[in-house]
Amino acid sequence: MCQSILQSTAFFSFLLGIDQDLAREAGAAGCRGCGGRLLQACYPRKPRGAQCPLGPAYRQRFSFCCATCRRRTTPCSVRFLGRRVYLGVVMTLACALRAGVSLRRAGVLTASLQVPLRTLQRWRRWWLEDFVKTPFWRGQRALFMPPVEECSLPESLRSRFQAEGDWEHWPRLLRFLTPLTSRTANTFVGGR
Ligand SMILES: [Zn+2]
């Protein structure tokens, strides 16, 4: 089932490829402040939640620094959905599975995903209380017809991206959410 994507090296390589594309675009665009040339200045990360070996590129969130004015440019990411340690896919998957799951089964779930129950509850609160208030979601929700049931986020959103029996909707969903990982909408980062 869904959880096996966390064991798929191919899946994580695919997400890395998307992040590399996003970084290439951002790097080529130059500094938003002065138009200067951007130099690579990645942030260190210690991603958790994957159940397969991740290459050294996963220990970095791609970012740039302007050669002239030193201003930071951090492109969106499908791997790091704001949280510093847990991969975005883990955060979304865990909450999606949590919806409607009993507390006892949630315990089994958190053990297999190696996410503490408290963290899971915090994420869930973020989806139900903070995500729904983001300018991003307020702008996007009208595009879904019928409307996404906000009380069962993120599962209700995830299911809209799901094609019959494949995993390919995960990158699509994560890519849809990337505006939340940019600096202007970093409520994901703040939602502790
Ligand atoms: Zn600059």
- Looking at residue 85, what is its pLDDT? 75
Q: Which amino acid is at 93?
A: L
What is the CA(73)–ligand 1 centre distance, in A? Answer: 9
What is the CA(183)–ligand 1 centre distance, in A? Answer: 16
What is the CA(31)–ligand 1 centre distance, in A? Answer: 5
Q: What is the pLDDT along the chain (192 residues), one digit of tens a residue?
A: 456 788 888 889 988 999 999 999 999 999 999 999 999 999 999 898 888 999 999 999 999 999 999 999 999 888 987 656 788 888 888 777 766 666 666 677 677 777 888 888 888 888 899 999 999 999 999 999 999 999 989 888 988 988 656 677 888 888 898 888 876 444 444 333
What is the CA(65)–ligand 1 centre distance, in A? Answer: 8
Determine how many CB atoms are found less than 10 A away from the CB of residue 73: 21
- Looking at residue 71, what is its pLDDT? 94
- Looking at residue 42, what is its pLDDT? 94
User: Nearest 5 degrees, angle CA 75-CA 47-CA 56?
Assistant: 80
- Looking at residue 7, what is its pLDDT? 86
Q: Are 134 and 150 in contact (CB under 8 A)?
A: no
* CA torsion through residues 67, 70, 76, 78, sign: positive
Distance separating alpha carbons of residues 167 and 113, to the nearest angstrom = 18
What is the CA(24)–ligand 1 centre distance, in A? Answer: 17
What is the CA(63)–ligand 1 centre distance, in A? Answer: 14
Give which of 149, 167, 165 is closest to 157, Cα–Cα.
149
What is the CA(75)–ligand 1 centre distance, in A? Answer: 15
- Residue whose structure tokens are 């069962």: 152
H or E stretch at 43: strand 43-44
Contacting residues for 76 by C-beta, under 8 A, at least 6 apart: 22, 178, 179, 181, 182
